[in-house]
Structure 1
Amino acid sequence: MDLSKAPGQRESWDAPRWKVYLWGAVELLLVTNPWQVSSSLRVRTLRAFGARIGSNVVFRPRTRVRFPWKLTIGDNCWIGEGAWFHNQDHIRVGANVVVSQESFLTTGSHAHRRDMALVTRPIRIHDGVWLTARCIVLGGTEIGQSVLAKPMTIVQGRVAPNAVVEGPRCEPVGQRFKLGDYDAGRS
């Protein structure tokens, strides 16, 4: 197959070419740059390009955001070093969420199509979720409130609230909070 003829190039941009290219340069200098230590500068830069980010959000160095205009993050979130939002579709993150270091959230795939056409599906992460180190979250995923994904989990599909999940099949292995603790946190 001649990949130069594969459908989908630039279909997910939802912005003019100049904005995408300008964002690439600004992201490198002010967001991904490991020497740039100011979380507030990262957040202001992302907001300037259309990201909707709540208050008290911490973005550590080496983070990447493909298209900030397709990113929503609630209040009091921590985004770990090297986290990558490869958001060719929308990613919506609730409040009090931790996306730990080197986690990768991707909304795009080729769904094993022979023509390599891009297929995108959004990601929704509810309040209180903790994605520990090096988790992968795939497009079309909805993660329920207070879920904890153990390191290197591939998170996909619908994950029930309060679950602890692990592994390449995102298997539930327990509950994050005791029933009384969990219910008290929801009120």
Structure 2
Amino acid sequence: MKSTPVIDLSKAPGERAAWDQPTWKVYLWAVCELIFVTNPWQISSGLRIRVLRAFGAEIGDRVVFRPRTRVKFPWKLHLGDRSWIGEGVWFHNQDHIYIGHDVVISQETFLTTGSHAHRRDMALITRPITIEPGAWVTSRCVVLGGARIGLNCLITPLSVVDARAVPDGEIWGGNPFAFVSERMLDGSRLS
């Protein structure tokens, strides 16, 4: 009978590898996130944005940032003008997340830039996520590190976006993730 070894997680490399900031700042952020960002009672999008910016998030003008959101590391979050972040969105950004202008990330979507070397030693592996201007990631999607969602793309609800480049102007969705159709059926393109 073949013996299958188990990875000793106490020896896994990478704990705190993605922090990029002093311990005090990470812990202070955790408190501020709970009070000002994740808090479902907090009705001010502007206050959430000011707190995120105070911790290094790059957030454009007229962004809407709804309650119950989570941001692992605000200093690795980049949001363009007029983007909308829906209620319950979770940016588990151990690497950078770049979101262009006029992007919608709908309710309960989970964006994660981290994974683990599961065949080796469970070391942390991170890859950035890029979402181009005009894209709409609809509700309850999962977007994995290494994904690039193209200009004016639409991702259908409950999709798992793997580490690939989604071409501009297309609708993709599902799990497994696949092409659905062109977004603008009349052939027009938005600017």
Task: Please give the TM-score of this superposition, normalised by the length of structure 1.
Answer: 0.96
**Distance between the aligned counterparts of 1:42 and 1:57, measured in 2?**
10
Change (3 A) 1:128 1:111: farther
Aligned to 2:84: 78
Change (3 A) 1:129 1:111: farther
Q: Quote how far apart the aligned CAs of 1:168 are.
A: 1.2
Change (3 A) 1:160 1:179: farther
Aligned to 2:166: 159
Q: Quote how far apart the aligned CAs of 1:165 are.
A: 0.7
Aligned to 2:176: 169
Counterpart of 1:177, as a letter, is: M
**Distance between the aligned counterparts of 1:4 and 1:72, measured in 2?**
33
**Distance between the aligned counterparts of 1:15 and 1:130, measured in 2?**
31
**Distance between the aligned counterparts of 2:34 and 2:172, measured in 1?**
33
Change (3 A) 1:167 1:111: farther
CA RMSD between the two structures: 1.0
Q: Quote how far apart the aligned CAs of 1:179 are.
A: 5.6
**Distance between the aligned counterparts of 1:141 and 1:42, measured in 2?**
26
Q: Quote how far apart the aligned CAs of 1:31 are.
A: 0.2
Range 19-28 or range 110-119, more displaced: 110-119
Counterpart of 1:176, as a letter, is: R
Which of 39, 49, 54 is the aligned partner of 1:43?
Answer: 49
Aligned to 1:27: 33
Q: Quote how far apart the aligned CAs of 1:28 are.
A: 0.3
| Aligned residues between the structures | 184
**Distance between the aligned counterparts of 1:179 and 1:172, measured in 2?**
18
Large movers: runs of 4+ above 3 Å: none
Q: Quote how far apart the aligned CAs of 1:170 are.
A: 1.9
Residue identity over aligned pairs, in percent, reads 61
Q: Any stretches of 5+ residues in structure 2 without a counterpart?
A: 1-6
Residue 52 of structure 1 pairs with residue 58 of structure 2: yes
**Distance between the aligned counterparts of 2:186 and 2:176, measured in 1?**
25
Kindly report which structure 2 residues correspond to 1:1-187, keeping only aligned pairs within 5 A, or say none. Answer: 1-156=7-162, 157-178=164-185, 180-182=187-189, 185-186=190-191
Counterpart of 2:46, as a letter, is: S
Task: Please give the TM-score of this superposition, normalised by the length of structure 2.
Answer: 0.94
**Distance between the aligned counterparts of 1:60 and 1:170, measured in 2?**
27
SS in 2 for 1:181: coil
**Distance between the aligned counterparts of 1:15 and 1:113, measured in 2?**
29
- Which entry has the higher C-alpha Rg, 1 or 2? 2
Counterpart of 2:175, as a letter, is: P
